Amino acid sequence: MARTVADALVTTLAELGVRQIFGVVGDALNPLTDAIRRQEAIEWIGVRHEEGAALAAAGQAKLTGRLAVCCGTTGPGGNHLVAGLYEARKDHAPVLAISGGVPAAQRGTDHLQEDAPDLLFRDVSVYTQTITAPEQAAPVLRQAIAEAYGKRGVAHLNIPADVIGEKMPEDVSSLPVLRPRPEVTPDPADITALAGEINAAGKIAIFAGEGCRGAIDRVMALADRIQATVAHTFRAKDMLAYDHPRWIGGVGLIGGAPGVDALNDADLVLMLGSDYPYNEFLPQDGRVIQIDERAFAIGRRAAVRLGIVGSVGPALAALLPLVAAKTDTAFFEKATKARASWDAMLDKRADPLRSADVIHPPALARMLGDLAPRDAVFVVDTGAVTLWQGNWLRQSGQQRILGSFNNAAVGTALGRANGIAALDRKRPVIAVCGDGGFTMLIGEFMTSVEHGLPVKVVVFNNRTWGLVDLEMKQAALPAASGTRFPNMDFAAYARACGMEGFTARRPAELETAIRGLLASPGPAVLDVFVDPEELPSMPHIEPAKALKFGIGKLRELLTGG
């Protein structure tokens, strides 16, 4: 029996496991939203801005690796999706984006809201196509989903108003093959060569990335056998509890000195499932062996002596029987001692009683993590807030931490959190935002309210673009007037939306406020006034850089900042 394009689209997505579609209703999408209304498998979640829809879908796809869906209607409705879709593009998450289009009879006449969506979406998507006839719909829909999964990115379909409601002659075929990509098994000769390198090396450090997810037990089994330290990217931070003895921390600004030093001091660095972009923190003298299922990523961040194309799980499964156990623990013990010293510094800065009248951002990040449920999902925005969470959040090992990892976009946390909360309204989801980021898409809090998405928003309220302010100081510049701004009362905003709002201005108020937020049954906001002058912990500060911070602050004072 022939079905409309809209009905077939909804049925196909439901069979593939999609449970929500995020978007804003309107003209070309009317047949789609009506098709959703007439069934129960997929929930329509209407957002307040289409960028919020794209972010919600990206959040789901990044958490699960499964296809997520968003849509916006003709012209501006679809255009608004693009910024949010870069979250999926840059973090390689499978998302299907649907935009409306003007009828065929109007195309090419500069009709109301007419644009060229295939051109607009070309950079953000791995596949983009306009469906110009119902006969084209089934094969193109199938191809779009296959490319989203196969290339791990955004597939975009533009469906004009005169097509989406028409009957299509065939259903989408071969649905069982539309699924996430399987793992890649490496060449056995490469694994043999890797075992020889490890057996011949003395001090070995492992640098674990997102590609270790699902294989972390094997990573740690290898580390135990060869007495290696394991540093991690921010994206991999949540794979193990913070206090695992070999999980010594991150590198760079979202990390610490122990991880940086371990990579520098090792005779051999195993870079597993990571395309870490900050090459200044990676050895460039050929001490790196990289394993990644993406051949194009091998060797582009660090000079490698051996590159192995394959997934981390099967690679380590083949490697472990070939590796001899090492007994010399001196390198690991040195890193452990350095970690203990670094952790003591972090603990001191996270002490809520360090100041009587000022809440320091590390204290908020530490207390929030310690009080949050052990299975919570932290959705972290971009900015100074990323540094606080990356360094001071003590993850349980069951919690998840999702950032704007490679897109590094401000204002994305709440939208992503809504998508994640929609997957399971009983799992705690905490959006950790700076004040600037929260106000960017603050209307998406009403999406949380309308659809019963119990997202808990924590606002680091420092009345400034904190990371920009830090970057200017690092360049010995006074903070520009554009980095400082006034704020609304965020707790009052939450109450105006019919939800609970909490405020903490002094350290003595912090724990009660966090507990109140986490106990709130629905969406809620905690507005925390934090010290805007706090600096992050940096692994190593050269004297010249420290001097620049001082000069920048002095110039700020002299110019009345």
Q: What is the DSSP string of 262-326?
A: HHHH-SEEEEES---S-GGGS--SS-EEEEES-GGGTTSSS-EEEEEES-HHHHHHHHGGGPPP-
561 versus 311: the higher-pLDDT residue is: 311
CB 145 within 8 A of CB 97: no
pLDDT for position 543: 46
The pLDDT value recorded for residue 559 is: 43
The answer, yes or no, to whether residue 290 has pLDDT greater than 50, is: yes
Residue 480: predicted pLDDT: 67
User: Does a structural domain hold residue 404?
Assistant: yes
CATH code of 251's domain? 3.40.50.1220
Residues 16 and 148 in one domain: yes
Query: What number is the average pLDDT over the span 485-508?
Result: 96
3-state secondary structure 102-123: CCHHHCCCCCCCCCCHHHHCCC
Same structural domain, 514 and 435: yes
For 293, how many CA atoms within 13 A lie in the half-sphere containing its CB? 19
Question: Which residues constitute the domain of residue 276?
Answer: 188-338
Burial group, residue 184, by CB count within 10 angstroms (0-12, 13-18, 19+): middle
- 161 in the same domain as 252: no
Domain boundary among 177, 203, 221: 177
345: in domain: no
DSSP for residue 246: T
More confident residue, 40 or 468: 40
pLDDT at 107 over 90: no
Quick check: is 74 in a domain? Answer: yes
* CB 252 within 8 Å of CB 301: no
Residue matched to tokens 């997520």:
68
**Residues ≥6 apart with Cβ < 8 Å to 115:** 75, 78, 79
The partner residues of 100 in beta bridges, in order of sequence, read 159
525 pLDDT exceeds 60? yes
Closest by alpha carbon to 273, among 260, 248, 291? Answer: 291
Residue 524 lies in a domain: yes
Number of structural domains in the chain: 3
Answer yes or no: do 225 and 313 share one domain. Answer: yes
pLDDT at position 541 is 53
Q: Write out the H or E segment, with its range, that includes residue 431.
A: strand 429-434
Instruction: Please give the Cα distance from 355 to 215 (Å, whole number).
Output: 42
Same structural domain for residues 27 and 164?
yes
pLDDT at residue 551 above 70?
Answer: no
Q: What is the mean pLDDT of the chain?
A: 92
User: Residues 185-209, buried b or exposed e (16+ Cβ, 10 A)?
Assistant: bbeeebbeebbeebeebebbbbbbb
The whole-angstrom separation of Cα 228 and Cα 230 is 6
At 101 the pLDDT is 87
pLDDT of amino acid 476: 66
Strand partners, 101: 160
Confidence band for 230, pLDDT divided at 50, 70 and 90: very high
Question: Mean pLDDT lowest for which of 107-116, 276-285, 546-555?
Answer: 546-555
Instruction: Report pLDDT for 352.
Output: 93
pLDDT reading at 382 higher than 80: yes
Backbone φ and ψ for 390, nearest 5 degrees, come out as: -65, -35
**Structure-token match 């540094």, residue found:** 387
Do 502 and 536 lie in one domain? The reply is yes
Query: Can you tell me which residue has the tokens 């913070």?
Result: 242
Of 319, 275, 321, 320, the C-alpha closest to 299 is 275
313-325 mean pLDDT: 98
Quick one: pLDDT at residue 372?
98
| Domain boundary pick from 177, 209, 240 | 177
In one-letter notation, the amino acid at residue 258 is: P
pTM, two decimals, is 0.93
Which pLDDT value is given to residue 474? Answer: 67
Determine the 3-state secondary structure of 489 from DSSP: coil
SS3 letters across 168-235: ECCCCCCHHHCCCCCCCCCCHHHHHHHHHHHHHCCCEEEEECHHHCCCHHHHHHHHHHHCCEEEECCC
Q: How far apart are CA 273 and CA 236, in angstroms?
A: 10
Phi-psi region of 367 (alpha: psi -120 to 50; beta: other; left: phi over 0): alpha
Is residue 23 located within the same domain as residue 101? Answer: yes
Kindly tell me if the per-residue pLDDT of 28 is higher than 90.
Answer: no
Rounded mean pLDDT, 269-274: 98
Residues of the chain with pLDDT > 70, as a percent, come to 93
DSSP state for residue 541 in the 8-state scheme: -
Place of tokens 């490496």: 186
> Is the confidence at residue 360, as pLDDT, over 80?
yes
Average pLDDT over residues 225-239: 97
CA nearest to 7, candidates 143, 172, 147: 172
* Domain match, 320 and 374 both: no
Domain match, 321 and 435 both: no
- Which of left, alpha, beta for 214 (phi over 0: left; psi -120 to 50: alpha)? left
Instruction: Say if residue 549's pLDDT is above 90.
Output: no
Question: In the listed set 338, 372, 395, which residue is the last one of a domain according to the structure?
Answer: 338
pLDDT at residue 547 tops 50: no
By the 8 A CB rule, do 212 and 236 touch?
Answer: yes
The answer on pLDDT for 485 being more than 90 is no
What helix, strand, coil percent values describe the chain, rounded to 5?
45, 15, 35
Q: How many C-beta atoms lie closer than 10 Å to residue 472's C-beta?
A: 18
Average pLDDT over residues 235-259: 93
Q: What is the pLDDT of residue 115?
A: 76
How far, CA to CA in Å, does 355 sit from each of 359, 360, 393, 506?
7, 8, 20, 9
> 343 lies in a domain?
no
Q: 121 with 234, same domain?
A: no
In a domain, 182, yes or no: no
Burial of 557: CB neighbours in 10 Å, binned 0-12, 13-18, 19+: exposed
Token output for 127: 């596949």
Structure tokens at 480: 């520009």
**Lowest pLDDT segment from 66-75, 238-247, 341-350, 461-470:** 461-470
Name the pLDDT band for 27 (thresholds 50, 70, 90).
confident
β-bridge mates for residue 96, sequence order: 69, 155
pLDDT at position 254: 87
Residue 442 sits in the same domain as residue 471: yes
Query: Whole-angstrom Cα distance, residue 191 to residue 318?
Result: 7
pLDDT(282) > 80: yes
pLDDT score of 163: 93
483 and 390 in a common domain: yes
Q: What is the full DSSP assignment across 380-414?
A: E-SSHHHHHHHHH----SS-EEE--TTT--TT-HH
pLDDT of residue 113: 63
pLDDT of amino acid 560: 46
Residues of the chain above pLDDT 90, percent: 82
What is the torsional sign of CA 482, 485, 490, 496?
negative
- 459-to-403, 462, 495 alpha-carbon distances in Å: 15, 9, 15
Q: Do 251 and 277 meet the contact criterion of CB atoms below 8 Å apart?
A: no
pLDDT digits (tens, 9 = 90+) for 386-421: 999 999 999 999 999 999 999 999 999 999 999 999
Residue 406 lies in a domain: yes
Q: Indicate which CATH number applies to the domain containing 30.
A: 3.40.50.970
183 located within any domain: no
Residue 496 above 90 pLDDT?
yes
